[in-house]
């Protein structure tokens, strides 16, 4: 722990806590302050000008990151008949119905994404108390309840991320690995932000994108200037 403390302190010293950096500067800092022996994940924390307590200001969606997530996504599909065959051909790791429902009830959770055909949701709904708190419950709003199983599986494998604004008005989402380098990370961040901005609720007034910070798995947070972000997105 002492060694980790020294590494974090050294990394933290590189970041001015009172400064808001340009996106490019912030990404470069996150990369340079990552000191773990493993390839750290880069995460975003985006504060929005919404009140999630109001249903019409809930921001929720998904986006396929152009450069993926840098990790293998284990996909479980609930389907029967031809859709079960379609899921296997698309590359799903696990495909089934009642058998997997029972396994999950018994404690099995060795998957990262759950997709279901609409006709399976009556049975899958029984897993709500298990999958819901873990963010794994299929939902049509993010494309995980669908008859287009092939597309859903392929997008999940390609690096699709789901996001949902929390009670404090913040969206947390991974955007790749430190090893991606600046260009790919910036591309993924821009894709995420563009999607979130498109989902701005009509009832949200004032500044929508209020703040953004980046961090690696065990690195310090780096604040990004929202004005720089808005400028980048306007100029495309």
For the chain, give every domain's residue range.
18-69+160-235, 75-157
Whether 1 shows a pLDDT value over 50: the answer reads no
At 5-47, the pLDDT tens digits run: 676 777 778 888 889 999 999 999 999 999 888 999 999 999 9
Rounded to a whole number of angstroms, the distance between the first and last alpha carbons of the chain is: 43
Q: How far apart (Å, rounded) are the C-alpha atoms in residues 62 and 67?
A: 15
Same fold, 18-69+160-235 and 75-157: no
Check whether domain 75-157 has CATH 3.30.230.10, yes or no: no
Return the CATH superfamily for domain 18-69+160-235: Ribosomal protein L1/L10, rRNA-binding domain (3.30.190.20)
pLDDT in tens, 167-196: 999 999 999 999 999 999 999 999 999 999
Whole-prediction pTM? 0.85
| Spatial separation of the C-alpha atoms in residues 167 and 214, rounded to whole Å | 20
Give the pLDDT score at 4: 56
Measured in whole angstroms, the distance separating CA 42 from the mean position of its chain's CA atoms is 11
């Amino acid at each position: 722990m002492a060694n980790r403390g020294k590494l974090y302190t050294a990394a933290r010293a590189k970041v001015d806590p009172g400064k808001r950096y340009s996106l490019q500067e912030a990404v470069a800092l996150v990369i340079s302050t990552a000191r773990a022996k493993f390839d750290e994940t880069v995460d975003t924390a985006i504060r929005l000008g919404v009140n999630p307590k109001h249903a019409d200001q809930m921001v929720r969606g998904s986006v396929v990151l152009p450069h993926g997530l840098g990790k293998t996504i284990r996909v479980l599909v609930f389907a029967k008949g031809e859709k079960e065959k379609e899921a296997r051909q698309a590359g799903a790791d696990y495909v089934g119905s009642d058998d997997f429902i029972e396994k999950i009830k018994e404690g099995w959770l060795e998957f990262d994404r759950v997709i279901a055909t609409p006709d399976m949701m009556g049975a899958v709904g029984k897993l709500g108390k298990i999958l819901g708190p873990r963010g794994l419950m299929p939902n049509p709003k993010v494309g995980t309840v669908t008859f287009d199983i092939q597309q859903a599986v392929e997008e999940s494998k390609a690096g699709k991320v789901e996001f949902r604004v929390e009670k404090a008005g913040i969206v947390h989402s991974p955007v790749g690995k430190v090893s991606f380098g600046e260009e790919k990370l910036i591309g993924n961040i821009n894709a995420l932000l563009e999607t979130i901005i498109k989902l701005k609720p009509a009832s949200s007034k004032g500044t929508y994108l209020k703040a953004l910070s980046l961090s690696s798995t065990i690195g310090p947070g780096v604040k990004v200037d929202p004005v720089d972000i808005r400028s980048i997105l306007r100029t495309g």
